[in-house]
Amino acid sequence: MRKRKVRRQWHFSWFSALLLLVIVYFSSILFSQQGHLHQLEQDQAAAEARLAAAQQENEQLRQEKENLGKLDYIEKLAREELGMTRHDELPYSSGPDKRAKQ
């Protein structure tokens, strides 16, 4: 005699439904956290770039502060930016005055 294959009919199972629901819930949490983590990494990279720029500016300001104590640097600034000359010198201008445009 041949054995007949008995087809099993699909029955609703609360356990399977609950398991599927838990898997979907934790998957959504995982993807949400991945997106949040990616945003935090971008924020950290931007903060590190701002920090590097601030450190560079701080070093430039520190160097300028150190140079402001030197008489040669003060004289150079007075000549270049303010157009000052020494008592016995005559100013020479080769073109339009840059300070007049400001």
Helix (H) or strand (E) run with residue 49 in it:
helix 14-67
Token digits of residue 61: 């300001």
The reported pTM is: 0.52
68 domain residue, yes or no:
yes
Say if CB 85 and CB 79 are below 8 A apart.
yes
Contact of 54 with 61, CB cutoff 8 Å = no
- Residue 66 belongs to some domain of the structure: yes
Q: Each residue of 55-82: pLDDT tens digit?
A: 999 999 999 999 888 988 888 888 888 8
Residue-number span of the structural domain to which 64 is assigned:
57-84
pLDDT at 82: 83
Query: 51 in a domain, yes or no?
Result: no
Q: Distance (Å, rounded) from C-alpha 65 to C-alpha 74?
A: 11
Has residue 89 been placed in a domain?
no
Q: How far apart are CA 38 and CA 51, in angstroms?
A: 20
- The one-letter amino acid at 50: R
Identify whether 52 is part of a domain. Answer: no
Q: How many domains does the chain have?
A: 1
Place of tokens 């931007």: 46
Q: Is residue 61 part of a domain?
A: yes
50 in a domain, yes or no?
no
Residue 8 covered by a domain: no
Torsion of CA 45, 51, 56, 62, to 10 degrees: -170
What is the rounded CA–CA span in Å between residue 87 and residue 82? 15
Looking at the predicted structure, is the pLDDT value of residue 19 above 70? yes
